[in-house]
Amino acid sequence: MDISVVVPLYNEAESLPELVEWNRRVMEENSFSYEIILVDDGSNDGSWDVIEMLQLQHPAIRGIKFRRNYGKSAALNVGFEAAQGDVVITMDADLQDSPDEIPELYRKIREEKYDVVSGWKKKRHDPLSKTVPTRLFNSVTRKMSGIPNLHDFNCGLKAYRRDVVKCIEVYGEMHRYIPVLAKWAGFRRIGEQVVEHRPRKYGITKFGFSRFINGFLDLLSIFFVGKFGKRPMHFFGSMGVLSFTAGLFIAIWIIAEKLIDIAHNAKFRNVTEQPLFFIALVAIIVGFQLFLTGFVAELVSRNSTERNLYNIEKKI
């Protein structure tokens, strides 16, 4: 099979018939063999009834329904597990992404050998309250993730080689960072394509302002887990040891100074009268706690069933 289109959807009943029809037209015009996997993320507006009805008309449609709303990432994850096509395309259900982009995305993966091609909504049809924070979010993500060539990490329209989606796990709200997850999994050819962005035709957006706060926290955890997930002691331990020894040396220095002054019968300062002493104490305590945190984190990661899970590309 050439293409799997994975569509996460939550209360998008009105859009679905148009979305399916449009995808079908594009696929047939280009004579792709395809499947459309509609993942109903616990909708309560009758989306599933629409999916069942559409499935009777188009056998290429597959449906998966969650019993409750788990979020877009969860929906994408089960869609990825089910996908069988050589190229997997993700697309929002709200008709903001255009299926007409699919042939070019497919070509980039197959002929230009990209692992991931991410859409870039260069000209957006969203309110200013969303486009401005999004710019900031993208530039921070570019810096932190080491993928300098992407402008629009969270674009719903993306294409992947099948290996990629089978290797990565999208959870929580990590759908914003799939290119970063792919990069950490070892896929390096990550490209971009300018795509058309259309105004939402039916229904309302499912994400509020919290997307920016959650998004930033997720970026920090991706960065940390990617870099130190398998060796937390190297992060906490090094900072802890540094802080502890610095504190210890300062404390010893201050006490020694006083003892020397006493030995010479000189005028001495009380240890507790020196601000530096308290700084040293704090450094010792913080250092020790950082070290303990690293130790506990190390035990946690040692117990993880994934501690020896690596991504093997080839074997002979």
Task: Provide the minimum distance between the beta carbon of 144 and Mg ion in the complex, in angstroms, as a whole number.
Answer: 25
When binding is defined by CB under 6 A, the residue of 12, 14, 101, 152 that contacts ligand UDP is 12
When binding is defined by CB under 6 A, the residue of 3, 5, 9, 233 that contacts ligand UDP is 9
Beta bridge partners of 119: 193
Of 64 and 180, the one with the shorter C-beta distance to ligand UDP is 64
Strand order in the sheet with 61-65: 61-65, 34-40, 3-9, 87-90, 158-161, 116-120, 190-194
- Which of Mg ion, ligand UDP, none sits in contact with 237, Cβ below 5 to 8 A by type? none
Task: Provide the minimum distance between the beta carbon of 175 and ligand UDP in the complex, in angstroms, as a whole number.
Answer: 8
Of 59 and 208, the one with the shorter C-beta distance to ligand UDP is 208
| Residues 63-122 interacting with ligand UDP (rule: CB under 6 A) | 69, 71-72, 75, 92-94, 96
Q: One symbol per residue from 148 to 167: x for binding ligand UDP (CB under 6 A), - otherwise; what is it? A: --------x-----------
Q: How far apart are CA 162 and CA 3, in angstroms?
A: 9
| Residues 24-43 interacting with ligand UDP (rule: CB under 6 A) | 41
H helical segments located in 83-127: 102-110
Task: Provide the minimum distance between the beta carbon of 92 and ligand UDP in the complex, in angstroms, as a whole number.
Answer: 4
* Greatest extent of the chain over all pairs of C-alpha atoms, in Å: 100
- 4 binds Mg ion per the rule CB under 5 A: no
Q: One symbol per residue from 212 to 251: x for binding Mg ion (CB under 5 A), - otherwise; what is it? A: ----------------------------------------
- Single-letter amino acid code for the residue at 13: A
Task: Provide the minimum distance between the beta carbon of 156 and ligand UDP in the complex, in angstroms, as a whole number.
Answer: 5
Q: How far apart are CA 211 and CA 39, in angstroms?
A: 21
| Residues 88-147 interacting with Mg ion (rule: CB under 5 A) | 92, 94, 96
Task: Provide the minimum distance between the beta carbon of 241 and Mg ion in the complex, in angstroms, as a whole number.
Answer: 48
Q: How far apart are CA 244 and CA 281, in angstroms?
A: 9
Of 107 and 198, the one with the shorter C-beta distance to ligand UDP is 198
DSSP 38: E
Of 156 and 237, the one with the shorter C-beta distance to ligand UDP is 156
- Single-letter amino acid code for the residue at 130: K
Distance of CA 155 to the CA centre of its chain: 12
Q: Which two tokens stand for residue 71?
A: 């979020």
- Which of ligand UDP, Mg ion, none sits in contact with 158, Cβ below 5 to 8 A by type? none
**What is the β-pairing status of strands 87-90 and 3-9?**
parallel
Q: How far apart are CA 312 and CA 314, in angstroms?
A: 6
- Single-letter amino acid code for the residue at 267: K
89 phi and psi angles, rounded to 5 deg: -110, 130
Please count the residues of this chain forming the interface with Mg ion, following the rule CB under 5 A.
Answer: 3
Collect all residues with Cβ–Cβ distance below 8 Å to 229 and sequence separation of at least 6.
301
Give the 3-state secondary structure percentages of the chain, helix then strand then coil, rounded to 5: 55, 10, 35
| Residues 42-81 interacting with Mg ion (rule: CB under 5 A) | none
Task: Provide the minimum distance between the beta carbon of 119 and Mg ion in the complex, in angstroms, as a whole number.
Answer: 12
| Residue ranges binding ligand UDP (CB under 6 A) | 8-10, 12, 41, 69, 71-72, 75, 92-94, 96, 156, 205-207
